[in-house]
Structure 1
Amino acid sequence: MRPLLVLLVGVIASSTASIFIRSAQSDASSIVIAAYRVVIATVLLSPVVYVRQRRVLIGMGSKQWILALAAGLFLGLHFLTWVTSLEYTTVASSTVLVSSLPIFVALLSPLFLNEKPAPVLYIGMTLAIIGGAIMALSDTCVVAGIQFSCPSWQSFSQDSALYGNGLAVLGAITGAGYFMIGRHMRISLPLLTYVFVVYGMAALVMIVIVVMTGLPIGGYGKETYVWFLLLAVVPQLIGHSSFNWALGYLPVSYVTIAAIGEPVAATALAWVILHESPTLLQIVGGMLCLTGIGYASSRS
């Protein structure tokens, strides 16, 4: 199969996540949705890992398990914050802002990975910050002709969309933490084992959170369980696996730029399926943000 075709499949599959989440949110809380996503993905991977890489799994050392737990914690929080953000803000704002993950990886790499960021990072980061700020304003401010109006600061600070946008950014930060820990783990572990272990740890973290919050684990409608399954299979296993597979055949810059197509496709799907059309500010802010992310990622 051609790598570019697999990459296209990955973009389309990943972009369905926000649609499945929105559909499930009519019956289940965001915490439960995030938990089911990683639990089902872990269960589906179990037989494959057992057959192909159980010796690698058994041979993991204590340091690797500690790193796996830390990565799982960050991954669980990443899904939790991003899924919850979709309750409060639009698909366009949420998916674009959470896609700023590469910017945070580049910013935090000097501290945790001893990697010096390239100068072009700051150009991309500036564009992404400006675009992100416009996206944050887009749900409360209005452009009418040549007039631009925003509510008072008090009204703006209390707006639920601002809270949702903040959660999406937090999702990008926690995702960056997961990614950086993964960089260490991938040195000594095959991809399949790494993904299985981290998903499993994220599943444990999310189950603990569900139990602590007292939310019901079961008792949902049949349709809701279908959304849970689709969320785990399509964007999680097919989408993420396609990107990881393509990395073995294409430059990282190709895969990074392709991944940026996810929020664009997600916004288009939300427009068609959820009748959630993007505003002018969302389009402008999203283009600036994604351009900045793409520029920094492809040249770093």
Structure 2
Amino acid sequence: MDRVVGAGDRKALAAAAITVVLWASAFVFIRAAGEDFSPGALAFGRLLTASVALVAILIVTGEGMPARGAWRGILISGVLWFGVYMVALNWGERYLDAGTAAMVINIGPVLIALLGGLVLGEGFPARLMAGIAVSFGGAIVVGLSNSGGGSAAILGVVLCLTAAAAWAVAVVAQKPTLAHASALQVTTGGCVVGTIACVPFAGQLVSEAASAPLSSTLSVLYLGVFPTALAFTTWAYALARTTAGKMGVTTYVVPALVVLMSWIALREVPTPLAVVGGLLCLAGVAITRSRPTKPEDAPPEDAPPPRIPNRT
């Protein structure tokens, strides 16, 4: 029975899978839209689109406003993750290709796991730390395979590291918030807060949208509806059902998916090194999600079953 995955765990895994696929696609669409939209304008357009969609869903479902206890985490995640993260990532991808940006951003799960252990008391399980090590190594390999020989601009790396740090702090703040509000409420609140934080870029969005081609405008709308409104909600749903450390490490699959999507959308053929890195990413995630086949203190298979005392 220890190997049987519960229904709740299966739902969390499915939500996490949706999240990483959509987030991987975001790196490709950011690169595409970034040719016509500045970092702040792209973030504001993406967040505004997501906020409209999420508020509409919140009204239709009748969930209402989050409880008072949720607002501290919503404000922190809204400013850092929906605001700082998105602007910094958009800016960083002006200097880094999508694969390299995805690799640098994946410093975030390491910070999430460490902060989760320190702040949330999640501890540092051996399998989690081993999975982090393997997946982080795979992320580095994927990034190196797509980095043009390590010639990425220092500014782009710094911006992506800034985004990763903002993401990590926001996730640790978001985790306890989910005890007071639903995934939809937390995501909607954070998205609205991030949109308000990016209002100074509204003028840039209007002027740039007027001259941008339809394909770039559609990319902004896609980023708002799918990698933001949908994927951030499925992330929050899964985060509420597992630890921040385990959720963070699932995103190590993203660099491999980014390389694959770039191959399909941009006709870039992944190198053998990228394939190796992608397999390492998947192996690390498998380690963190696996369970020991037999507890260390389990009796031998041929041992008689323990006697159950009569509790009368």
Tell whether the structures are fold-level matches, with TM greater than 0.5: yes
- Asked if the contact 1:90–1:276 (Cα under 8 Å) also holds between the matched residues in 2, the reply is no
Q: Please list every run of 5 or more consecutive structure 1 residues that lacks an aligned counterpart in the other structure.
A: 142-155
Q: Please tell me whether residue 22 in structure 1 is matched to residue 28 in structure 2.
A: no
> Match of 1:276, SS?
coil
AA at the equivalent of 1:113? L
Of the two, which has the highest radius of gyration?
Answer: 2
Q: Please tell me whether residue 226 in structure 1 is matched to residue 183 in structure 2.
A: no
1:68 to 59, 67, 74: 74
Q: Please tell me whether residue 295 in structure 1 is matched to residue 287 in structure 2.
A: yes
The structure-2 alpha-carbon separation of the partners of 1:104 and 1:298, relative to structure 1 and needing over 3 Å to count, comes to farther
- Asked if the contact 2:93–2:156 (Cα under 8 Å) also holds between the matched residues in 1, the reply is yes
Aligned to 1:101: 108
Aligned to 2:306: none
Q: Please list every run of 5 or more consecutive structure 2 residues that lacks an aligned counterpart in the other structure.
A: 1-9, 293-312
The offset of 1:298, in angstroms, is: 5.4
1:117 to 116, 124, 128: 124
2:54 to 34, 38, 45: 45
Aligned to 2:266: 274
Aligned length: 276
2:190 to 188, 198, 203: 198
Q: Deviations over 1:9-45 (max 9, x none)?
A: 5554333212221121111112221222122101111
The structure-2 alpha-carbon separation of the partners of 1:51 and 1:239, relative to structure 1 and needing over 3 Å to count, comes to closer
CA distance in 2, matches of 1:177, 1:23: 28
**Identical counterparts, % of pairs:** 22
1:33 to 38, 42, 48: 42
- Which structure is higher in RCO with an 8 Å CA cutoff and minimum separation 6? 1
Q: How does 1:156-235 map to 2 (within 5 A)?
A: 159-208=151-200, 210=201, 216-219=204-207, 220=209, 221=212, 223=214, 224-235=216-227
Q: Deviations over 1:90-119 (max 9, x none)?
A: 222222332443322111123322332113
The offset of 1:184, in angstroms, is: 1.6
AA at the equivalent of 1:25? G
Q: Which moved more, 1:192-201 or 1:162-171?
A: 162-171
The offset of 1:197, in angstroms, is: 0.6
Q: Deviations over 1:43-72 (max 9, x none)?
A: 111122234346444xx33x5433322111
AA at the equivalent of 2:205? I
Q: Which moved more, 1:91-100 or 1:196-205?
A: 91-100
CA distance in 2, matches of 1:7, 1:126: 20
CA distance in 1, matches of 2:260, 2:109: 23
The structure-2 alpha-carbon separation of the partners of 1:271 and 1:189, relative to structure 1 and needing over 3 Å to count, comes to same
- Asked if the contact 2:142–2:273 (Cα under 8 Å) also holds between the matched residues in 1, the reply is yes
The Cα RMSD (Å) is 3.6
